[in-house]
């Protein structure tokens, strides 16, 4: 059980006294790098105490991968067990409220992540989805910044990290949570997982161990078995796609998926473009959200043609802050700004990164006209536009932060083109699909576009029915969203109104 020091064992009676389990989303720099996002503040979700389970190397516990599910993800984590009630405690006193440290495995099925809008109730709340133990390390005997977490998948070491450089140290988590709720004795905090979490299949065994000097939790062992009871027809059904496979395995390569199509490889067909033009960005946004994509909108801009819906592939241009010596070498002549304008192709959208700087124009009437002549579908910049009246009179829409009379060189240097940029708070890559209308501007990964368009069309058809029913005087209760009774009526309506 230990590496030189004896630790007591976690028991079923102790788990029975646990009233809540609180989990942290991202806390290890290695995981943040893998996910491509680093939170400024910790965020949490709850797991039911009924998900708790025991297991050891000598007596492994079992967890069922629900019938019909493909992606049972495992995440080795360090668990904190509260010993003394904590309410509005300071960071300095927070660690004294933790009694025990042990190992945990934050299991979940990615097939159901879409179902609960971020609460993880279905995806991470299943029976046995939170194994903990087996040994308990006294919190007052260890330095919380010097713990080590390791995970083995079928005997292979897949996670190995320490708590030395956590985004949110353990004491901060305890203090932060205690601001709004009382942490009670027996409550468990799962403190995040490092890079290396992946997917386990029936027949696999996952082991997790926490060590601190001579102390060890022992190996928490969990064997995966296949569920045999199918989901009922009245709830959310398992649904996996490549976006969830990439999330579950940690990368497209690990999931056995082909690399995403590049700008050169992807072709926006007339058929797909027509589909995307037929649905509004509000619908597309909700479908992106179902696929776990929240940070895909270019925000804070206005449009010269707000009545237009624009669809096209992104070309990119990046400005850097002006430095007079560099502007002399990069600002004049056939600079990156002019090269970008002069190479944009028919139907493409030129997206500019101007860092949200509004103190100068990033495009004016002559260059905007040149883009229109070349067939550009739109220009998008999170900086200023000069010659606004002339730009606004063009048929081609321009999306911009504000009008400003200053010429190039006051705040910006046009630096490079056709690279990954940031615009309006999101990342844009060359070849991404841009959809813009009066509701906003979305960036759509090309690999998701076909499926996204089809599901959006289906959603808008369903909402047409709902709107018609509301117009006829029906209450939205049970209608929006559709319950089983209304769904049957919708299916009947759909048959009568099919093309």
**pLDDT confidence tier of residue 2, bands split at 50, 70 and 90:** very low
Burial class (CB in 10 A: 0-12, 13-18, 19+), 369: middle
- Please write the tens of the pLDDT for every residue from 112-149: 988 887 789 999 999 999 999 999 999 999 999 999 99
**C-beta separation of 458 from 390 below 8 A:** no
pLDDT given at position 4: 42
The structure tokens 């976006």 sit at: 243
Which sequence spans correspond to the domains of the chain?
12-247, 295-444
Phi-psi category of residue 315: left, alpha or beta, with phi > 0 → left and psi -120 to 50 → alpha = beta
Phi and psi, residue 141, nearest 5°: -105, 0
**pLDDT confidence tier of residue 1, bands split at 50, 70 and 90:** very low
Burial class (CB in 10 A: 0-12, 13-18, 19+), 324: exposed
Strands (E), 148-253: 148-153, 156-162, 188-190, 198-200, 205-212, 215-216, 220-226
Residue 496 has pLDDT above 80, yes or no: no
**C-beta separation of 407 from 322 below 8 A:** no
Query: What gap in Å lies between CA 360 and CA 385, rounded to an integer?
Result: 7
Q: Which CATH number describes the domain made up of 295-444?
A: 3.50.30.40
Query: Other CB atoms closer than 10 Å to residue 389's CB: what's the count?
Result: 8
Highest CATH level, class, for 12-247: alpha beta
**In residues, how long is the chain?**
499
Burial 269-287 (b: 16+ CB within 10 A, else e): eeebbebbeebebbbbbeb
pLDDT given at position 497: 65
Give how far Cα 290 sits from Cα of 231, 273, 427, 481, 482, Å.
20, 21, 19, 15, 17
Residue 20 has pLDDT above 80, yes or no: yes
Comparing C-alpha atoms, which of 457, 416, 33 is closest to residue 271?
457
Comparing C-alpha atoms, which of 26, 24, 93, 78 is closest to residue 212?
78
SS3 call for 389: helix
Query: What gap in Å lies between CA 230 and CA 186, rounded to an integer?
Result: 34
Comparing C-alpha atoms, which of 109, 48, 103, 125 is closest to residue 222?
103
Task: Give me the mean pLDDT over the 28-48 stretch.
Answer: 86
pLDDT given at position 259: 63
Residue 391 has pLDDT above 50, yes or no: yes
- Please write the tens of the pLDDT for every residue from 467-479: 999 999 999 898 8
Task: Give me the mean pLDDT over the 104-112 stretch.
Answer: 95
Phi and psi, residue 161, nearest 5°: -150, 170
Query: What gap in Å lies between CA 388 and CA 390, rounded to an integer?
Result: 5
**C-beta separation of 371 from 344 below 8 A:** yes
Structure tokens that stand for 252 in this block? 């497209």
Structure tokens that stand for 277 in this block? 């033009």
pLDDT given at position 283: 93
Annotated binding residues, written as ranges, equal 364-367, 386-387
**pLDDT confidence tier of residue 199, bands split at 50, 70 and 90:** very high
Q: What is the pTM of this model?
A: 0.56
pLDDT given at position 263: 46
pLDDT given at position 264: 47
- Please write the tens of the pLDDT for every residue from 236-284: 889 888 878 888 998 878 888 766 544 445 788 999 999 999 999 999 9
The side-by-side arrangement of strands in the sheet containing 361-363 is 361-363, 384-385, 402-403
Structure tokens that stand for 283 in this block? 């619908």
Query: What gap in Å lies between CA 60 and CA 325, rounded to an integer?
Result: 66
**C-beta separation of 195 from 159 below 8 A:** yes
The rounded mean pLDDT for the chain is 90
Annotated binding residues for Mg(2+), written as ranges, equal 387
Residue 91 has pLDDT above 90, yes or no: yes
**pLDDT confidence tier of residue 3, bands split at 50, 70 and 90:** very low
Q: How many CA atoms lie within 13 A of 467 on its CB side?
A: 6
**pLDDT confidence tier of residue 184, bands split at 50, 70 and 90:** very high
**C-beta separation of 80 from 21 below 8 A:** no
SS (H, E, C) 449-474: HHHHHHHHHHHHHHHHHHHHHHHCCC
Annotated binding residues for substrate, written as ranges, equal 364-367, 386
Task: Give me the mean pLDDT over the 307-334 stretch.
Answer: 88
Name the DSSP letter for residue 161.
E
Task: Give me the mean pLDDT over the 59-87 stretch.
Answer: 95
Structure tokens that stand for 81 in this block? 């067990």
Task: Give me the mean pLDDT over the 419-431 stretch.
Answer: 94
Give the helix ranges, DSSP H, for 308-387.
324-330, 336-343, 365-373
The structure tokens 């139907």 sit at: 347
Task: Give me the mean pLDDT over the 395-405 stretch.
Answer: 94
Check the CA dihedral 220-226-230-231 and report its sign. positive
pLDDT given at position 6: 53
Taking each helix axis from N to C end, the angle separating 449-471 and 270-277, rounded to the nearest 10 degrees, works out to: 30
């Amino acid at each position: 059980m230990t590496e030189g020091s004896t630790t007591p064992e976690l028991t079923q009676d102790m788990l029975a006294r646990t009233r809540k389990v609180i989990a942290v989303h991202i806390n290890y720099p290695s995981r943040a790098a893998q996910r491509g996002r680093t939170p400024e503040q910790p965020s949490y979700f709850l797991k039911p105490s009924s998900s708790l389970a025991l297991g050891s190397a000598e007596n492994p516990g079992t967890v069922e991968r629900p019938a019909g599910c493909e992606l049972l993800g495992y995440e080795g984590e360090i668990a904190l067990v509260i010993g003394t009630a904590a309410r509005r405690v300071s960071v300095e006193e927070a660690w004294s409220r933790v009694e025990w440290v042990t190992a945990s495995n934050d299991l979940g099925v990615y097939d159901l992540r879409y179902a609960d809008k971020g609460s993880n109730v279905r995806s991470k709340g299943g029976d046995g989805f939170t194994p903990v133990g087996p040994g308990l390390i006294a919190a007052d005997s260890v330095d919380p910044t010097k713990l080590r977490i390791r995970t083995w998948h079928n005997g292979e070491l897949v996670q190995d990290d320490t708590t030395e450089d956590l985004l949110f140290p353990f004491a901060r988590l305890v203090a932060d949570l205690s601001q709004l709720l009382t942490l009670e004795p027996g409550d468990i905090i799962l403190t995040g997982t490092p890079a290396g979490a992946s997917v386990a299949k029936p027949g696999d065994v996952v082991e997790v161990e926490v060590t601190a000097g001579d102390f060890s939790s022992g190996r928490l062992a969990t064997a995966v078995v296949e569920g045999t009871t199918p989901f009922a027809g009245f709830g959310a059904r398992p649904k996996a796609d490549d976006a969830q496979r990439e999330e579950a395995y940690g990368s497209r390569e690990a999931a056995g998926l082909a690399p995403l199509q590049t700008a050169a490889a992807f072709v926006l067909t007339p058929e797909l473009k027509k589909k995307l033009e037929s649905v509004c960005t509000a619908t597309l946004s909700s479908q992106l959200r179902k696929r776990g994509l929240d940070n895909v909108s270019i925000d804070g801009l206005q449009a010269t043609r707000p009545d237009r819906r624009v669809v096209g592939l992104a070309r990119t241009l990046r400005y850097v802050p002006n430095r007079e010596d560099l502007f002399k070498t990069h600002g004049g002549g056939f600079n990156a700004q002019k090269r970008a304008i002069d190479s944009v192709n028919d139907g493409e959208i030129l997206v500019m990164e101007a860092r949200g700087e509004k103190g100068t124009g990033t495009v004016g009437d002559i260059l905007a006209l040149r883009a229109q002549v070349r067939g550009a579908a739109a220009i998008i910049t999170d900086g200023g536009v000069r010659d606004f009246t002339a730009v606004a009179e063009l048929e081609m829409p321009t999306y911009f932060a504000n009008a400003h009379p200053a010429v190039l060189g006051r705040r910006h240097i046009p630096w490079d083109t056709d690279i990954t940029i940031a615009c309006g708070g999101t990342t844009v890559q060359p070849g991404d699909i841009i959809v813009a209308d009066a509701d906003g501007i979305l960036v759509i990964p090309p690999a998701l576009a076909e499926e996204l368009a089809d599901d959006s069309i289906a959603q808008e058809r369903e909402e047409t029915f709902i709107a018609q029913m509301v117009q006829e005087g029906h209450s939205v209760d049970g209608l929006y969203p559709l319950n089983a009774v209304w769904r049957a009526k919708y299916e009947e309506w759909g048959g009568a109104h099919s093309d």
